[in-house]
Structure 1
Amino acid sequence: MKKNKILKILAVVLLILTTALITRILTVRTILGDASSYAKMNYLEDYVKENFLYNKEIKQKDLEAGKLKGLVAGLGDPYSEYLTKEELTSLNEQTSGKFQGIGVIISPNEDGTVTVVSPVKGSPAEEAGLESGDKILKIDGKDFNAEKINEASKAIRGKAGTEVKLLVLKSKNNETKEISVKRAEVKLDSVISDRIGDFGYIGVIMFDEETGSDFKVALDKLTNDGVKGIILDLRGDPGGVIDGAVEIGDAILPKGTFVTLKDNKDEIVTEYKLDENYNDINMVVLVNEGSASASEILAGAIKDLKRAPLVGQKTFGKGIVQTVSKFPGGDGIKLTTAEYFTPSGKSIHKIGIEPDYKVDLPEDIKGIGIDYKDTDTQLQKAIELLKENSNK
């Protein structure tokens, strides 16, 4: 009898607690009703400030940035984001070609991970073994995901000489590996050039504001030196400023359409045209899974216009364009505003571009490019094709 009485008392207490919880929820609903999003946002801000356990640590600027980031994040597009003043400055550094860090291009992946698009050639990241497709799970012991891409970028960067520890899920064997990388002053010389015997080699690392003009200088020099052909290496090139790709296209492609950009109404917003003046020297183009965005625009035009064969692996598959707008306060937004189409009208977004000659690299290869020509099977294939074309 006494036990039943205790159980009844507990039941009443639980009922009261449950009723109290429901009452609080109903109260919130009553207060808000069908209020506007603006009213809800104001209520949420006040509610958080009043009840958040660590409210003394709240910074108003972080709340304001969070609101704006949340709005853009609601689009579900990993390439669109609100940028704080610091983040926009960082983005501008990338396009200018100088920063301190490890030299790795990362992107939010649709699987929710922070994914390596490509390490910068010759950078600490490349020397440490980071490769396109690797997933960065932790930075200095802290978890990061696609939603925290800017925080991840900031955590990876740092003063030259300091070290950062990364927990990486390797794309080749799906195994985790901890990698320590020493930061350095990374100078993105976006174009490198050299000779391989009778042929010229031009590697485009990324597209920044100087890439187009630097490429034309390298191309003219090699042509005047009498090379019999050019190897254009776009492997590991994550893209960048589209104008650089257009300038290179204008230098090596015949008259026609280079790329077409269409907006959300399927209307053409920009169509880049090529004139009749171009260097028609024999050429082979190298691409891989790290070739993305602007480098894919260039590779797609080269393939569609049958200017040169593509050698390597299928490209990354980023066929959309982001526009960066700066606000008066120094912050801004990076928003996906257009999809691009190759000269034949193809969209390659989430598809990529297939090479004309698919060539695998040795599993134990230490690097790619002119310094590794003895083991770089893709580069070797490009040389072979140039020799064949030279003998015709």
Structure 2
Amino acid sequence: MKKNKFLKVAAVAILILATAVVTRIYTVKSILGTNENFGKVVLLEKYLKENYLYNKDIKEENLEAGILKGLVAGLEDPYSQYLTKDEMKKLSEQTTGKFQGVGVIISPAEDGSVTVVSPIKGSPADRAGVESGDKILKINGKDFSAEKIDQASKEMRGQAGTSVKILLLKKKNLKTEEVEIKREEIKIDSVLKNKIGDYGYIGITMFDEETGKDFKKVLQELTDDGVKGIVLDMRGNPGGVVDAAYEIGDAILPKTSFVTLKNNKGEVIEDYKTDDKYNDIKMVVLVNEGSASASEILAGAISDLDRAKIVGKKTYGKGVVQNVIALPEGDGLKLTTSEYFTPSGDSINKLGIEPDVEVDLPENIKGIGIDYQETDTQLQKALEILKEK
């Protein structure tokens, strides 16, 4: 039994290739016989258990997770990772829009830091002044780097009503700042609707399973209200479910190849096409450094087709797609499997989307969006452009 403890590593690879459940016994025979490195894992496990000073505290599940995480980390891809049962549960919560924590989306940066992609609008982190581009140095006094991003995320989550201290390196002034944030039940309203005079405002905070349906509903409501145009605000939107972005594209874009996905052979594995039925209401799109992934797919298609002006700042630049593979014991694998290309054939990975009209925000602005119209210069510019049409 001991020999088989760590050989789930091989099961991951086989599951990906065969998409079938493979027993650990089969894994042991097929892998150990052909690759001596897996034999080293068994020897190393034995040595750790016999010689580690605190060997009585060793937890089998932690060692196993560490090995699996190390295997995927060897890809040196910031978006691919082995997921424990708890992490799979967290990922599921993100796609359904409910969890307990501070409400911040983080990503590993190329410099090895944990970087804030965006705070969720209206969340405790947002109210505490956490901003896109801030770097998280410590959480509750513990140091965190990109290689420990899963632990960082777990450290910030917790029971609603409890507090967490986060040491930030602020992007705007490169000074450190510690904030204490009380955790809450985070319910993400992924689609926000409002009116500004004769114009409609739709904010998309992220793309979850309900976003496409909710967007089409509020778009129709605003159209029925007779608005003269719409501001589509995707600032701080870290992405999410690609199908939701496609649903929105299908509602507002003419017939086109919305986005294509290519695998590691350069083959097109998915081509999302919109039909010729769409709402052609006037529109301006807002993006910033926190707009990533699915929000960039949508903004890129809108830009390529000249459907609307893009206003704000250059987007994050995440142009790769991850598949999540569920493993037999409730854990999983998130793996970068494809790259997406806009209708014009452009990749934006590590490049981002440049706005048609670049607008900076005031240095001391307290927030963005409908509640901060008087100081939100990007929103002001979007409305100005709508009125010019």
Name the TM-score, length of structure 1 as normaliser: 0.90
Is residue 243 from structure 1 mapped to residue 243 from structure 2 by the alignment? yes
Matches for 1:37-48 after TM superposition, within 5 Å: 37-48=37-48
Name the SS for the 2:296 alignment partner: helix
Quote the residue 2:208 is aligned against. Answer: 208
Matches for 1:253-292 after TM superposition, within 5 Å: 253-292=253-292
Quote the residue 2:231 is aligned against. Answer: 231
AA in 2 matched with 1:304: D
Name the SS for the 2:340 alignment partner: strand
| Shift in alpha-carbon separation, 1:251–1:35, aligned structure 2, 3 A | closer
Name the SS for the 2:207 alignment partner: coil
Measure, in 1, the Cα distance between the counterparts of 2:78 and 2:51. 31
Quote the residue 2:322 is aligned against. Answer: 322
Matches for 1:155-170 after TM superposition, within 5 Å: 155-170=155-170
Quote the residue 2:196 is aligned against. Answer: 196
Matches for 1:338-353 after TM superposition, within 5 Å: 338-353=338-353
Runs of 4+, deviation exceeding 4 Å: none
AA in 1 matched with 2:274: L
Measure, in 1, the Cα distance between the counterparts of 2:342 and 2:364. 35
Matches for 1:295-334 after TM superposition, within 5 Å: 295-334=295-334
Matches for 1:21-40 after TM superposition, within 5 Å: 36-40=36-40
Name the SS for the 2:330 alignment partner: coil
Is residue 102 from structure 1 mapped to residue 70 from structure 2 by the alignment? no
Matches for 1:64-103 after TM superposition, within 5 Å: 64-103=64-103
Measure, in 2, the Cα distance between the counterparts of 1:113 and 1:46. 33
Aligned-pair CA distance for 1:48: 1.1
Name the TM-score, length of structure 2 as normaliser: 0.91
* Alignment: residue pair count: 356
Aligned-pair CA distance for 1:187: 0.5
Measure, in 2, the Cα distance between the counterparts of 1:179 and 1:44. 41
AA in 2 matched with 1:207: F
Measure, in 2, the Cα distance between the counterparts of 1:203 and 1:302. 16
Q: Which structure has the larger Rg?
A: 1
Aligned-pair CA distance for 1:181: 0.7
Measure, in 1, the Cα distance between the counterparts of 2:273 and 2:355. 24
Matches for 1:169-188 after TM superposition, within 5 Å: 169-188=169-188
| Shift in alpha-carbon separation, 1:93–1:35, aligned structure 2, 3 A | closer
Q: Deviations over 1:185-240 (max 9, x none)?
A: 11001000000000000000000000000000000000000000000000000000
Quote the residue 1:383 is aligned against. Answer: 383
AA in 2 matched with 1:239: G
Name the SS for the 1:86 alignment partner: helix
Aligned-pair CA distance for 1:35: 7.1
AA in 2 matched with 1:63: L
Name the SS for the 2:91 alignment partner: helix
Name the SS for the 2:177 alignment partner: strand
Aligned-pair CA distance for 1:340: 0.4
Quote the residue 2:112 is aligned against. Answer: 112
AA in 1 matched with 2:267: E
Measure, in 2, the Cα distance between the counterparts of 1:35 and 1:364. 58
- More divergent stretch after superposition (51-60 vs 331-340): 51-60
AA in 1 matched with 2:314: K
Aligned-pair CA distance for 1:128: 0.3
| Shift in alpha-carbon separation, 1:106–1:35, aligned structure 2, 3 A | closer
Measure, in 1, the Cα distance between the counterparts of 2:316 and 2:139. 24
Aligned-pair CA distance for 1:110: 1.4
Q: Deviations over 1:18-43 (max 9, x none)?
A: xxxxxxxxxxxxxxxx9701111111
Name the SS for the 1:343 alignment partner: coil
AA in 1 matched with 2:141: G
Q: Deviations over 1:249-292 (max 9, x none)?
A: 00000001100100000111101001000000000000000000
Quote the residue 1:142 is aligned against. Answer: 142
Measure, in 1, the Cα distance between the counterparts of 2:166 and 2:281. 43
What root-mean-square deviation, in Å, do the aligned CA atoms of Structure 1 and Structure 2 show?
0.9
Q: Deviations over 1:363-390 (max 9, x none)?
A: 010000000001000000000000011x
Measure, in 1, the Cα distance between the counterparts of 2:166 and 2:85. 26
